[in-house]
Amino acid sequence: MTTRQGLRVELAPTVEQRSRLGRHAGLSRVVENFCLEKVRAALEQREAEKTYGVCETDLTPVPWSAPALERLWRRQHRDRYPWFTAEGLSSRVPKEACRVRAAGFKNFFDSRSGKRTGHKVGFPAWRKRKHGSRFRYDAATARPHTPRSVHLPMIGKVRTREDMSWLTERLSDARARVIGATVRELAGRWWVSFQLEIDRTDINERHAVPQDLPACGIDVGVKTFATIVDDDGTVTELHAPKPLKSALRKLRRAGKAVSRKQSGSSNRAKAVQRLARVHLDVAHQRADFLHKTTTMLARSKRAIAVETLNVTGMVANHRLARALCDLGFGEFFRQLAYKAEWYGSSVWAADRWFPSSRLCGGCGAINRDLTLGDRVWRCGCGLEHDRDVNAAHNLLNAMTLERQAA
């Protein structure tokens, strides 16, 4: 059984290859802006035609789809962008840039109509240099060449800083297939992310969760990242590194250094790179903690009960926003869900309004006066509760009762 998975590998390009990577990123930006220009021009033309009484069926069509945008690019790029052919850039990059723009338009309309859940998506905007350097290849045009190099069309064989034997072995015997690749630059470093269809049967069976392992309830919080209560009564606390909080002083100094440099100068560009490296270190520390934690839980618990948090609403509280974003609760739950599916464990999510912290685990009474500052509280029945342990225990009990009833 195949599943879709991503694999990101850092590149070690030469000076010439760095230049070529930057040119392809610039090409992708140009094509995306070309597509947006054509759509906006068509919309303006339609508005003008309506004022002249042109009927709806005769109005200028808008090139919303990727094929329509790609046809316009092929028709006009020789006259408007002759450097595209002269510099020998890959033709696969414009094709994917058109698909990215078409997906942006579709997401906008789906969001307006209610077909797309989550926050509202705005109309696509112009892409600028400051938005970052990235471009895409379609299908398997970009692929691993050896365990320590990748082939990128019109760039060549680029060395990697990590071994890819895990992937190349599966590609060689058809247990994996590359369906796309994204190349991105962050803080002066380049990565390639492969989108894969892969057979993980051997890995999942090797790490399959035995059914004699404990089930658990997990309560997440700002002070203690995760309080885990197993069905045998074991309580475990996990504390997050909080990398953003640790790097605040360094970030302030790096930000001030950028503001002191003259706009457009080489010194400002260097200061921006230093600031970007600090942000990248913070992101990597957070990702490392989340991946290690979710993998450990998915491989060591047969069933996991979690709460359903309105993270977007919680971040709206400006007093908690920085701390919540530093922890990455949304990413934690996302990773836990797909890793549990890989290894044969299960994740049960409580209803958003389930009072896990307010509910007494002994008598079932609800403490409606409980505040965020109350870490320990006493119920009218006489039981004294640690807020986090009680919440995790209630989640575990709720999952057990629901599954027994089913």
Q: Tokens 């990101």 correspond to what residue?
A: 8
Locate the domains of the chain by residue range: 2-199, 209-244+284-405
Q: What pLDDT score does 130 carry?
A: 87
Q: What pLDDT score does 1 carry?
A: 76
Distance, CA of 10 to CA of 61 (rounded, Å):
42
Per-residue model confidence as pLDDT tens digits over 282-305: 999 999 999 999 999 999 999 999
Using DSSP's 3-state secondary structure scheme, residue 76 falls into helix
pTM score: 0.91
Instruction: Look at residues 327, 306, 347 and name the one whose alpha carbon lies nearest to residue 219.
Output: 306
Other C-beta atoms closer than 10 Å to the C-beta of 316 total 10
Judge contact between 390 and 370, C-beta under 8 A: no
**DSSP per residue, 97-111:** HHHHHHHHHHHHHHH
Q: What pLDDT score does 145 carry?
A: 96
Judge contact between 140 and 178, C-beta under 8 A: yes
Judge contact between 257 and 275, C-beta under 8 A: yes
Q: What pLDDT score does 349 carry?
A: 95
H/E segment holding residue 73: helix 66-80
Helix, strand and coil in the chain, % to nearest 5: 50, 20, 30
User: How many CA atoms within 13 Å lie on the side-chain side of 71?
Assistant: 6
User: How many CA atoms within 13 Å lie on the side-chain side of 64?
Assistant: 11
> Residue by residue, what is the 3-state secondary structure of 116-153?
CCCCCCCCCCCCCHHHCEEEEEECCCCEEEECCEEEEC
Q: What pLDDT score does 229 carry?
A: 96
Q: What pLDDT score does 371 carry?
A: 85
Pick the CATH number of 209-244+284-405 from 3.30.420, 3.30.70, 3.30.1370, 3.40.390: 3.30.420
Whole-number percent of the chain with pLDDT over 90: 83
pLDDT beneath 70, residues of the chain: 406
Q: What pLDDT score does 160 carry?
A: 98
Q: What pLDDT score does 388 carry?
A: 93
Mention every residue, 6+ apart, whose C-beta is less than 8 A from residue 43.
Answer: 62
- Rounded to 5 degrees, what are φ and ψ at 89? -85, 155
Distance, CA of 315 to CA of 325 (rounded, Å):
7
Judge contact between 85 and 20, C-beta under 8 A: no
Judge contact between 45 and 153, C-beta under 8 A: no
